[in-house]
Structure 1
Amino acid sequence: MGEPRLKSVQCSSPAGLHRMAYKEWGDPANPRVLVCVHGVTRVADDFDALADAMSDRYRVVCPDVAGRGRSERLRDPNLYVVPQYVADMVTLIARVTANDEDEAVHWVGTSMGGLIGMILASFDNSPIRRLVLNDIGPVLDPAAMARIGEYIGQDLRFPNFEAGARFVKDVSSSFGPHSDAEWHKLASDVLVQESGGEWVRHYDLGLARPFAAITPERAEQDQAALWAAYDAIRCPTLLLRGELSDLLSRATAEEMTRRGPKPILAEIPGVGHAPTLMHANQIAIVRDFLSTE
């Protein structure tokens, strides 16, 4: 459906202003907007296949969350937290729905992107009309969170792209089976070459700072707040779960179907955390749900 347009919007934080980059697919005048938000160390490019498939029906907007990819880094790494991301998305939605009276959007969020969507969808007068949560819920497995936090903060450097790509494939094995070309894309989206020639991951290592501050007491409080937010959601919701996910347990997913928006649950076989939404069968599940109005 054509090449995406690269744009940005200026957002604010307590530490100052920052620009958040985003990719926009489809007819720029289409009032039907689908916002797709990636996981904690990933980027907007993750949704290229989904966005291309959905751009006949939607204007698809895929941001690089602050500190990742093309977006600017925050001056204070302690602000790499969901409330700041939610504020940035409110700014983004205001920009992309400027000509739409009710500022309505549909939302697909993978992992962290799902948490952002969950909080935003819980608000009174939320702009989110239909919500897809991709392998995320109000209960975050402590072991999985510790694994992610440790992974984020490592200052890893690779002598060439091939070495970096092997690393990305190894640490992303839970994404499930992908072709060599798909693994190459998944790596090239999140690796960047520095001026000295080394390849590094394309995000601010300061993302790890908030993870280091999590205590058991704080984790318990956060989980209670997430369940409260989830229970306040009223829009139609689809919950995707990787069959082998270590971040969203089957028990939590089943509990989610009984609470809050009582979502449709679709489990992706042979996949852990998280389905990449690159394959036709996964895209079809999302498309069918969003097209049911």
Structure 2
Amino acid sequence: MPMSERSFLGLSAAGFHKVAYTQWGRDDAPRTAVCVHGLTRNGRDFDALALDLADGWRVACPDVVGRGKSGWLANPALYGYPQYCADMAALVARLGVEQVDWVGTSMGGLIGLMLAAQPNSPIRRLVINDVGPFVSKIGLQRIADYVGKDPVFEDIAAVESYLRFVLMGFGRLPDEAWRHMAEHSARTRPDGRYGLAYDPGIAEAFKAQPMQDVDLWAFWDRIQCPVLVLRGATSDILLRETAEEMTRRGPRARVVEFANTGHAPALMTEDQIAAVRGFLLEG
């Protein structure tokens, strides 16, 4: 299936910035999916899922501003969900379709949740991967402990070793999956060594205010489209009681849980990809 790297301009209070995305499948595919990654990740995390879907979907996998091949904001204080939602709305407009299927991991799931809650939302079916309308400050603190750091690595193998540690919640993945993530999670520094492919300034939002629980139930209760929730069995971000409540209120989501996985299922294994594909094909 064809794959291409594309970009468009997003707009913040500090000016325009580049938003890069990888597109899989044909421009004239009957359906369009948007896959949005977690806080420190990038769109290439979805390569396996996008390749599987590309027989029936055009799949756009953006690098949220400050990550991957997208630009960095001159003012780190502007990193946050209002900007991310605005950029993703611009992506949907760029794709030129009235409806999209949305697959979002962690941060990408919250962006999807917020957009799906809006009147006249273009989201047709929503997959939220290991996040929900309530996130405890305990789980957020664990993420805050590593996000924004700017470690230096001598080679890609060192990047891979670091990712295997901080992303251990992704679960049991083949070696080639970890290598793939390492290759697309590294940026080359001026000294020839490697750093992580994100702006350390994305941590600004964590530092700007005291750590507290996140409560987005008001958004959740406004969602009208069908929702599938994926959960890692040992996740500290999407608690089991939150997932259960998501089945009882708002769009009354279906929940699928994966064993031997924490935060968050990587969507790189056959069973996880099959769960997403099966749900999207229902509508």
| TM-score (structure 2 length as normaliser) | 0.97
Cα drift, residue 29 of structure 1: 1.7
Counterpart of 2:4, as a letter, is R
Select which of 144, 148, 164 maps to 2:143.
Answer: 148
Q: Which moved more, 1:266-275 or 1:176-185?
A: 176-185
Cα drift, residue 139 of structure 1: 1.2
Q: Do 2:103 and 2:126's aligned partners in 1 also have CA atoms closer than 8 Å?
A: yes
Select which of 222, 240, 254 maps to 2:230.
Answer: 240
Select which of 116, 122, 127 maps to 1:121.
Answer: 116
Write out per-residue CA displacement over residues 217-240 of structure 1, whole angstroms, 9 at most, x where no aligned residue: xx45x51xx110011001000000
Cα drift, residue 53 of structure 1: 0.2
Rounded Cα–Cα distance in structure 2 between residues aligned with 1:257 and 1:215: 30
Q: Report the counterpart of residue 135 of structure 1 in structure 2.
A: 130
Q: Do 1:32 and 1:58's aligned partners in 2 also have CA atoms closer than 8 Å?
A: yes
Counterpart of 2:143, as a letter, is I
Q: Do 1:135 and 1:247's aligned partners in 2 also have CA atoms closer than 8 Å?
A: yes
Select which of 258, 265, 287 maps to 2:277.
Answer: 287
Cα drift, residue 15 of structure 1: 1.2
Task: List structure 1 segments (4+ residues) > 2 angstroms apart after TM superposition.
Answer: none
Which structure has greater helix proportion? 1
Write out aligned runs for 1:1-293 (5 A): 1-2=1-2, 4-97=3-96, 100=97, 103-215=98-210, 219=212, 222-223=214-215, 226-293=216-283
Q: Do 2:20 and 2:70's aligned partners in 1 also have CA atoms closer than 8 Å?
A: yes
Aligned-residue sequence identity (percent) comes to 48
Write out per-residue CA displacement over residues 78-130 of structure 1, whole angstroms, 9 at most, x where no aligned residue: 11111110000111100102xx4xx1111000000000000000000000010
Counterpart of 1:239, as a letter, is V
Counterpart of 1:110, as a letter, is T
Cα drift, residue 31 of structure 1: 4.4
Specify every segment of 5 or more residues in structure 1 that has no aligned partner in the other structure, as ranges: none
Counterpart of 2:16, as a letter, is L
Counterpart of 2:120, as a letter, is N
Rounded Cα–Cα distance in structure 2 between residues aligned with 1:152 and 1:274: 15
Counterpart of 1:264, as a letter, is R
Rounded Cα–Cα distance in structure 2 between residues aligned with 1:94 and 1:276: 27
Counterpart of 2:142, as a letter, is R
Write out per-residue CA displacement over residues 179-238 of structure 1, whole angstroms, 9 at most, x where no aligned residue: 11111112212112212121110000000111112325xx45x51xx1100110010000
Three-state SS of the structure 2 residue aligned to 1:151 is coil
Rounded Cα–Cα distance in structure 1 between residues aligned with 2:159 and 2:56: 36
Q: Do 2:33 and 2:100's aligned partners in 1 also have CA atoms closer than 8 Å?
A: yes
Rounded Cα–Cα distance in structure 2 between residues aligned with 1:195 and 1:114: 34
Q: Which moved more, 1:24-33 or 1:58-67?
A: 24-33
Q: Do 1:150 and 1:208's aligned partners in 2 also have CA atoms closer than 8 Å?
A: no
Rounded Cα–Cα distance in structure 1 between residues aligned with 2:7 and 2:158: 31
Three-state SS of the structure 1 residue aligned to 2:33 is strand
**What do you get for the CA RMSD once the two structures are aligned?**
1.1
Counterpart of 2:155, as a letter, is N
Q: Do 2:267 and 2:273's aligned partners in 1 also have CA atoms closer than 8 Å?
A: yes
Cα drift, residue 30 of structure 1: 2.0
| TM-score (structure 1 length as normaliser) | 0.94
Q: Do 2:30 and 2:56's aligned partners in 1 also have CA atoms closer than 8 Å?
A: no
Counterpart of 1:33, as a letter, is T
Rounded Cα–Cα distance in structure 2 between residues aligned with 1:84 and 1:192: 23
Cα drift, residue 160 of structure 1: 1.9
Rounded Cα–Cα distance in structure 1 between residues aligned with 2:229 and 2:129: 6
